[in-house]
Amino acid sequence: YSMDSLYIDLLITDRDFTLNSGNEPVLCDNRVSIAQDCVHAIIESGLATQLVGERSPVLRADLRNQIEMLVEDDDRIVPGTVRANEESPVKLWITADTYDFGRISQGVDL
């Protein structure tokens, strides 16, 4: 990775480490790393699980709002740019602007 890589992380795919052909972990950086951190924060908060079990449209909207606020707590995210949209009953789509790396757009499997 170059000197422009401010954030370096192990790449996670389907909640597991991504390995290369030599069975070594694949690295990701910057925008991908930030998006991945946001997804993990959502999963670890338990809000994704609550969203799956909630039937009320009003309470679902409240949970999406809580998810947006959680992502906005990341210092690398521009406040007011986070959107959490339900792509399907089992997929949430998060978009946000980062200060240094532009827009992130990442799915969260519920």
pLDDT score for 15: 86
pLDDT mean across residues, the chain: 94
pTM above 0.95, yes or no: no
Which among 97, 91, 94, 88 is positioned nearest to 106, based on CA atoms?
A: 94
Residue 4 has pLDDT above 80, yes or no: yes
Q: What are the tens digits of pLDDT across the range 74-84? A: 999 999 999 99
Do 47 and 62 meet the contact criterion of CB atoms below 8 Å apart?
no
pLDDT score for 1: 64
